Amino acid sequence: MSGRNKTTDREKNEKIRQLREVMGVSEQQARQALQSNDWVVERAIGAFCEDTSYSSRGGGSHHSPYHTQISSSSSSSTKFDRKKIDQLWANYTDSRDPTKMNLEQLLRFIKDLQFEPSDREILILCWKMSASKQGELQRTEFTNGCQELQCDTLDKLRDRIKQLNEDIESDNEKFKQLYGYTFNFARSSTSMKNLDVQPAMAYWKMLFIANNKPLQRFKLLDLWLKFLEERSNQRSITKDTWDLLLDFSTTIKSDFSNYDHDGAWPTLIDDFVEYAKTAQAQSSSFNV
């Protein structure tokens, strides 16, 4: 993993600066968060966003003044204008490499859209733009994505992504496409074949929870996450396990009466079923 490589003091100071600017935290808080997340800025941001006490303090809620400028200049016309996309891109491009948005510019883009980095809407945005790597966005991905979505202003893009997020809750096919995209995207900043368990858990929460309420697709999500947290030797998730968990979540009953241990389920899911049955049995005995 790139996050495990040795990080120089200069790089650490730059990451601390980026995290402080984005999340509005102190230098000590930024340093502690980065140290706990292998000096990977994206993971540190995710840790802050998952911290409910931080969210309640309004952390990271400030918006770039550029958003007001874009909103007021948005055209009332619904016609797609490619020139507007080029102009929009120019406001976020990396000054050292005009073919991409770097992490800092991408985070500013997200704030101007009035989202948080941990929102499912951002995952949907990356999916619709076919973003190939976390923490950056290529110009071709941005322009092709905006053209596919027929959005040439921040307001249009925000509204379209919000609509897609609502659609995902009831459209199983769209959800399946988003879910399939997420595994490769989530491990794109590493050289690992599998996905580390902590990022996997964060993305499962993002995918299966909407408006702080678990979707009906996976009623056992909390128990699944608890199982993984208690399984200290589980360090990564394979692509096979990731894919089949979606099938498991949508086809297997909560009492596991239709679960076939001799089926082609990954060992991790087999172990989870035994764990869940034990937990359910204990719960039943307590309620007697």
Instruction: Name the pLDDT band for 284 (thresholds 50, 70, 90).
Output: low
Residues 204 and 114 in one domain: no
pLDDT given at position 187 = 92
Q: Which amino acid is it at 269?
A: I
Residues 182 and 138 in one domain: no
pLDDT given at position 75 = 37
pLDDT given at position 181 = 97
Q: How many domains does the chain have?
A: 3
CATH number for the domain harbouring residue 116:
1.10.238.10
CB atoms within 10 A of CB 107: 24
In a domain, 63, yes or no: no
Residues 166 and 220 in one domain: no
Q: Which of 135, 170, 205 is the last residue of a domain?
A: 170
Q: Say if CB 99 and CB 138 are below 8 A apart.
A: yes
In a domain, 70, yes or no: no
Residues 17 and 29 in one domain: yes
Instruction: Name the pLDDT band for 10 (thresholds 50, 70, 90).
Output: confident
In a domain, 57, yes or no: no
Residues 193 and 248 in one domain: yes
In a domain, 112, yes or no: yes
Residues 212 and 142 in one domain: no
Q: At what angle do helices 154-168 and 139-149 cross, to 10 degrees?
A: 70
Q: Which of 170, 188, 216 is the last residue of a domain?
A: 170
Residues 140 and 218 in one domain: no
In a domain, 281, yes or no: no
CATH number for the domain harbouring residue 247:
1.10.238.200
Residues 177 and 269 in one domain: yes
pLDDT digits (tens, 9 = 90+) for 34-55: 888 888 877 777 676 655 444 4
pLDDT given at position 81 = 87
In a domain, 5, yes or no: no
- Rounded CA gap, 260 and 166, in Å? 33
Q: Which of 123, 109, 103 is nearest to 206 (CA)?
A: 123
pLDDT digits (tens, 9 = 90+) for 143-170: 999 999 999 999 999 999 999 999 998 8
Q: Which of 65, 124, 133 is nearest to 103 (CA)?
A: 133
Mean of per-residue pLDDT scores for the chain: 83
Global confidence as pTM: 0.71
pLDDT at residue 91 greater than cutoff 80: yes
- Rounded CA gap, 86 and 119, in Å? 26
Give the pLDDT mean for 109-116. 96
pLDDT given at position 199 = 93
CA distances from 90 to 142, 196, 247 (A): 11, 35, 42
* 195 bridge partner residues: 237
Residues 160 and 112 in one domain: yes
State which residues form the domain around 190: 173-273
pLDDT given at position 32 = 86
pLDDT given at position 263 = 85
